[in-house]
Each structure stands twice: as structure tokens, then as C-alpha cells.
Chains A and B, each alone.
Chain A
């Protein structure tokens, strides 16, 4: 318990270092990843990270060759990785130029070619006496614990530079993401901006390789932005949310894996990001699935109630005297249930719901009647339905027998002002029509 407390209050120097480093990475990759996501190049990071591998191997070999024992000098490896990642992206762009090879194939080709070379180099390094201890595999699978204080300084500087560039070029990047043709036409240096953005991606990728490993770097670049997309529709806030999301998930991942040493840190960081994504997918205020389902469910209920009330009106209509009060008549529930095909168990639920909303009332004898509010709603529903039926018969030239179905589908979407327009239109063209009476009767009278 005290261990956990110690951990959570960040009294451990090592945890503090690693936490700061990875959180910074999370923030930077969130900001850059948002731009890549909006440019529809989310998986560029994957290619960059795989393509960085041979660079690490070559850098190691070169350093070992000229000064044995210096092979693990971090900035040197990072430089090699960055060069090779850039080379990879350039190659994929060149492949893209071949008309026959599409973007995805170009990316996958580059990825496998460079990764293959990288693996070949790594196996070669393993033969060296120093190679076994080189621990280069941390670039593949990630090992945040390897982060030391000097790395955090490097990360902090890099993160600051990334944020600065994104801040200064915010407008330009937004233009690039949303309307590249316009940017070109407006004389913006699109090529240079694209290069700058690519450089940012490569920078973040290469820096993140050590902590989450090259196989999972792309998760840092993809997960926070896609999560942020569920909360906002604006670029600035989206970058902010993505940065926060990236930072928090990375920090949580580090804390968790510090508390439970059995967990692989890189994987935990990514899984935290996945958790954030799932939460956003479900509860995001902009496109969250839960809210959309709720809206859909409410709509279904409203449609059901409309159908129910219209059914009641049409049932009572047959024995209706003019100006008779609808609320006085009991509803034959069994007959009502037979009027349309209610799905299993829906009908009683709708009855209860209508009573709950004060549209229907039932007395001690189990007899159901409309309330005043229910009568108003029922009249409205019937009017909507019949107006649309009339419209279809007279304007769309559809047979009276087949208008019921399509009116069923559309009546729920008719807004009051549209209804008014419909009514005016119908009365103008066909003043003899009494609106809203049952169009079937109106028509048969007209024929007679």
C-alpha cells in the first residue's frame, strides 16, 4: 500500500523521469497525429517506424566500427533512425509515382522492404561480441525504463519544438489538411509544408521508438487523435484533446506498469490509449455511439406512440359523431393491437409509455381512454398522415391503395411549417377537399 502511495505521489525519481518523458511524447504525438489523421495518412507513422529500423542498425555498425563500444550512443542511433525513416518515406513517395502501384501498396512495400533490411542487419549485429548486449531489441518492443534524465531533456526540447512548429504553422497546416487544392491555388508552399509535417512525424516516431517500440509507435499517433475526433469538430480543440489524451494515457500506462512490474510498459500505454478510444467511441459528445443509440431509441419510441395514437383515432373514428368528444370513448385494446403488426412485446410497453406521458388513461375496469393531451397528439398524427396521403395522391399521382405505406414512413418527419405549406397547397389546388379527412373516403365520394 505504501508502495502504491509512493508511486502515485511520484516520490520515485525513476518513475518521475519515465513518466515525464512518455507523457511529453504522448502530447507531441497527439498534436502531430491529429494532423496526419485529418490528412488521411494515419498509418504513415507505421511506415516511418518500420523504416527507421535499418537506420538504427547501420548507425550502430558505423559507430562500433570507428569506436568500438560506442554503438549504443543514443543520439547517434536516433539520427540514424531519422535518416532511414525519411529515406523510407521518400521511397514510398517515389513508388507512389508509378501509376500502377497505389498508395497502400507503396506504403506496405516500403514497410516490408525496410523492415526486412533492418532485421537482416540486426541479426548481423547479434554476431558481434558487443551485439548481444546491445539491447537493440528495445527499439522493436520498447522499454521506457531505459529513459534517463538526459533523454527527458532531449524529449522536452523536441516536444517543445513540435508544439512550437504546430502553433506557428497552425493556419497553414489546417489549410493543408482540409483543402490542399485551395492551398496550392493560393500560392502556399504546399510541398514544403508537407515536408515539414513529415519531418514532425518522423521526429515523433523516432523519439517514441525507444519507449513504446517501433511496432506500437503508430498507436501513439493514431489512438489519441481518433479518440479526440469523438469529442469535437474543430481542429484546435481536437489537437488539444488529443494531446491531453496522449499525455494522460501515456502517464497512466507508465504508472500502471510501475505498480505491476509484470506488465510490458509499451503495451500497457497502448492499451490505455485503446481504453480511451473505446470510452470516446461510446460516450464522445460529438459522435458517441451511446448518444446516437439513445437518440435513435427515442425516435423509435416517438414513432411508436404516433402510430399508437393514430390507430386509436382511426378506431374511434368509425363511431364518431361530429364534434363528439374523443376522450369519452373507451378504446378496444384488442382491436387496436390487430390494426398493425407490432413487434413482439412492443404494444403493451407503448400503452404503458403513453399512460406515463399522460396521453392515455386507464380506469379500474381496465378500460383505456385518450386524455386531452392524447387527443391533441392523435389529431396531429392523423392530420400529418392524411395530408401526406392527399399530397401523394394529387401531386405524385400514386394510387390511393398504396399511399398508406409511404405516408407511414414520412409522417413522422413533417414539421409544423411544412404541414401548413402542404395544407395551403392542397386547398389551393383542390378547394373541395376537406382537410384532414380520410383521403380514401374523400376520393370515393368524389368518384361517386
Chain B
């Protein structure tokens, strides 16, 4: 089966898988954003491990009740889910609580305390699983990897429609999270960014923290059974961390992390569908098995983060490179303008600076940058090219004059206020000339009582060029 055939085979099962994963991802992204902003990202990892004993105990309790005949068969599905839900949420809270106790009572570093508590709880859970293996079948692997592929086997009729239970569960948690977010938006925002101000205003930061943990724990648990704990850890952290690269506002970050979560669910399932056929044909190894959708969704959410890191509009790597190149171009162009202006001055000793190579040596920039800057300057109408080299236009002369004025004013300022050698003054002025604006120049000139010449005796040109 080729990759395209695998995609063309898309059925209602695939749709339900994507819908469930997307619901879980969006539900996780909401509390996840706050965990990431509060620098508690590892809490997700800890919570998903620490809830294991709660889940196992809930299973045991369920089976004990069932054997006693206290559970009506019609309700057994819901009761089992409910018990697991409660048990896991409670152990999640217990994890947070114990961590706090260890931090306070033992003065242990927070991340180490978290490590102590969640590994202990997880080990306890594993022990329980082995002990309980006879009475209840629990597969620890199922908790880890989830069983997205089999969610349609467990359906519930809703208004005549058969919906997978996992969809309802994750959808309900998503709605609850949304409602909590809308009601407590201000409190969450305030305690996240300025806990001290929040406390001063009468908002209990510690209560908000506990509520957030409970909320995250509940979401983790709901997502757990259907999508597994790996995906939960990824969904709590990856979309919000990626969203932070895409937006500077809390609402924007929340929105983006929901979108990214849903995108990774779709992309992950598609990757899980087409990846194995592609690999099989690429490696010529037909026995290779299918891949778990949960694992691929986690990988895709990480991949989205890498894409955002490279291509994010404001904080991306490409944008940074672009900004740096732009700045470099501006500086080289301005250096050229300054040089051409100085050559025009009657006092200038150097002659015969006309070729690109000579100009490049004079301003200590690579030739390609000089060519690049020239084309830019010509485009802006600051320079014209003739047979005996470049000359400034009026427009270019004004720009150059302001630049040279900045340079010489700054040198004059340094000479009046500090003891500096000529090379030092020149180096400083060569840097600062690119950043002085008209207002600053005016203030500098006023401060120095409108000087006519700089410390080397060169004339400081006026702000506006005289028309020729």
C-alpha cells in the first residue's frame, strides 16, 4: 500500500481519532499555557506519571464493586471512567501537595522535590499494577501510549448518534476548561505575570496555583486513557511554547496554542498514516509495522515548534537574520554616503576613490556588501553613477550631511566631556552616527553651544544642505 492509498483510505475511524486527539490537545493547551508561563512545564510530566497509582486504585475499586454486584451493567462504563477520573485527579493533587511539603519541610530545591515525589508515586503505581495483575487487567503500556486506535469500540448513544466515549469526555473537559478560563481570566493573568500585585489586590496566588494544578490534573486524566501520557506531556508544553514564539499577548498565545494543538493532531495522524508506507518503500523493508498516532502527534507538535523557531514572524530565526542583514546594509550604505560627502569637502586629502574595490577598502566592508548598498542607494535616488565614479545627488547629500554632522557633533561632545584619544573618539562616533536622530543632534548642538568645528578642526555641516 502506498502513502496515497493509505490517505485515500481515510474513514470515519480516522476522523474520530483526529477529533479526539484535537479535543484533548486543545483542552491541554489551555492549562498548559499557564504552566509554561509559570515555568512549571515539567509539572505535566510529573502529573502524568504521578496519577498512575490513582488510576490503578480506581480500577481495583471498580472491580471490587463489580464483584460485589453493586454496579449496574448499564452504568459500568461511566462508573469506571468516573472512578478513574476521581482517583487520578486526587493523586495529581497529592503530587502537587507532597512536592510543596517536601520543598517546605526539607528545604529541597523545587525541581528535585518534584523528581522525588513523582518518581515515588509512579513506582508505587507500577508496584500496584503488578500486585493487582490477578484481579484486574491493567496494561501499563496502555497508560503510556494510550489507545487512540481503538476509541470507536467504546461508544455511547447521544440523541440517537453513536459517539465515542473519549470524544465526549475530552469535549466535556475542554468546555469546562474554557469556562474556567473565561471566568478566572483576570486572576490567572495577574497571578501568572505579577504574583505580588495579585496578592496586594487580594487574589490568593496559592489558591489559583492549586486550582490550576487541579485543572491540569483533570485534563491530563481525561486525555490519558484515550491518547496516553506521552501525548499529554507534549500537548501541555509544545503548543504553548510554540505559541510564545508567535504572539506577544496572552490571548494570542492561548489562541495560537489551541490552533497548534489541533494542527498537530491532524498532522500527526496523517504522518502516522503515510509515514510507514513511505519508510517501507524507501527502505525496501515490507515487514515494518504501523506507528502509533499518539507518538507521531507528539513528534509533529515538536516539529511545529522547530518550524516556528525558524520562521516565526517576529521572533523567528529567519526574521533575526533578515533584521541583522538589513541593519548591516543600512550601515554600509550610510558609511558610503559619509565617505562620498567627505571626498566632496575641500579639505579632504584623498583623491581617486572611485572604484568599488577602493571604496570597500576605505570603509572596511566586503565588496559584495558595497555593491549591494550602492544598488540600494541608487534605488533611493541618493547616488548617481557616472564614468568617474559615484556622486551624491542633492537628496543623498542631505542624508550624508546629517550623518557627518552626527559624527562630528558626537566627537565634539566626547572631547568636551571626556578625556579620550582621537582614535577612541572616532571609533565611538563611527558607531553612534547611525543611531542619532535629528532631535538628539539638536540637543547635542545646543549642549555644545552650536559648535562650528569638531576636535580635528573639520567643519560641522548644518542640518539642511544648501541647494546647489
Chain A positions near chain B (C-beta within 8 angstroms): 37, 40-43, 46, 65, 95, 98-105, 107-109, 111-113, 115-129, 131, 137, 140-141, 215-216, 218-219, 221-223, 225-226, 229-230, 262-264, 266-268, 270-271, 273-274, 277, 281, 287, 289
Contact = CB atoms under 8 A, between A and B. Distances in A.
B138 to A, nearest CB: 13
A335 B358 CA distance: 103
Contacts of A103: 39
A218 B115 contact: yes
Contacts of A102: 36, 39, 41
Question: Is chain B's interface secondary structure helix, strand, loop, or mixed overall?
Answer: helix
A112 B45 CA distance: 9
Interface of B: 36, 39-42, 44-45, 49, 102, 105-109, 111-116, 119-120, 122-124, 126-127, 129-131, 140-141, 144-145, 230-231, 233-234, 236-238, 240-241, 244-245, 272, 275-276, 279, 283, 285, 287-292, 294-299, 301-303, 305, 309, 315
A223 B127 contact: no
Nearest to A284: B106
B429 to A, nearest CB: 31
9 contacts: A99-B315, A100-B315, A105-B240, A107-B41, A113-B305, A115-B234, A121-B291, A123-B295, A262-B130
Contacts of A267: 123-124, 126-127, 130
Contacts of B109: 37, 40, 42
B105 A116 contact: no
Contacts of B285: 65
Question: Is chain A's interface secondary structure helix, strand, loop, or mixed overall?
Answer: helix
A287 B108 CA distance: 10
Given A116-B298, A140-B144, A270-B119, 11 more contacts: A65-B285, A98-B309, A109-B302, A113-B301, A115-B298, A120-B292, A124-B289, A226-B112, A226-B115, A263-B131, A268-B123
B43 to A, nearest CB: 9
Contact of A128 (B144, B245, B289, B297): B289
Given A120-B296, A219-B120, A277-B116, A266 B126 contact: yes
B302 A105 contact: no
A366 B213 CA distance: 58
Contacts of B292: 119-120, 122-123
A104 B123 contact: no
Contacts of B241: 101, 105, 108-109
Contact of A218 (B106, B119, B141, B240): B119
A120 B289 contact: no
Contact of A116 (B36, B39, B112, B297): B297
A281 B102 contact: yes
B244 to A, nearest CB: 5
A116 B40 contact: no
A219 B123 CA distance: 9
A113 B122 contact: no
Contacts of A99: 315
Contacts of A266: 123, 126
Contacts of A116: 230-231, 234, 294-299, 301-302
